[in-house]
Amino acid sequence: MAKFDATYAIQLFDIAMADLESAKVLAATWQRGRIENIFFLVQQSVEKGLKAYLCHKNGDFPMVHDLGILLGKMDLLPPQGYSLVSFSQFAGIRRYETGNPHLDKSDVDVAIASGEQVLAWVSSQLKTS
């Protein structure tokens, strides 16, 4: 039995798109505030996008933030597949740490592009099945 109504997939997808848009706003001023917040919002957009896909396909999804667990439940993988798991750290421990000297504008650009690719893929899947 499905845990969620199928229409919830669209709501999740809309929230995922809004999270990615918020990441883009922060990316425009990436040197101000916490750069980690951009990655957190990208992680959230990817997480909700994957959950939208699973909800659309199965009516259910695990209530977790770990992208690896979500990807493991999928019958098809989005662009970048399991490499998306690297974003999971920003929904966990990185939320409680300050500063990361290893992140810069090129990392921000890659993160935003990753979120865009995943959500474009989810959108195509929601429309075709």
* Measured torsion, CA atoms of residues 107, 126, 60, 113, in degrees rounded to the nearest 10: 0
The pLDDT, as a whole number, for residue 129 is 61
The pLDDT, as a whole number, for residue 1 is 47
Model confidence at 33, in pLDDT bands (50, 70, 90)? confident
In words, the CATH class of domain 8-128 is: mainly alpha
What percent of the chain has pLDDT above 90?
81
Its pTM surpasses 0.85: yes
Alpha helices in 59-104 (DSSP H): 67-72
Whether residue 128 has pLDDT greater than 80: no
Contact 112, 42 (CB under 8 A): yes
Contact 53, 122 (CB under 8 A): yes
Whether residue 99 has pLDDT greater than 70: no
Distances (CA, A) of 95 to 10, 12, 17, 87: 27, 22, 21, 12
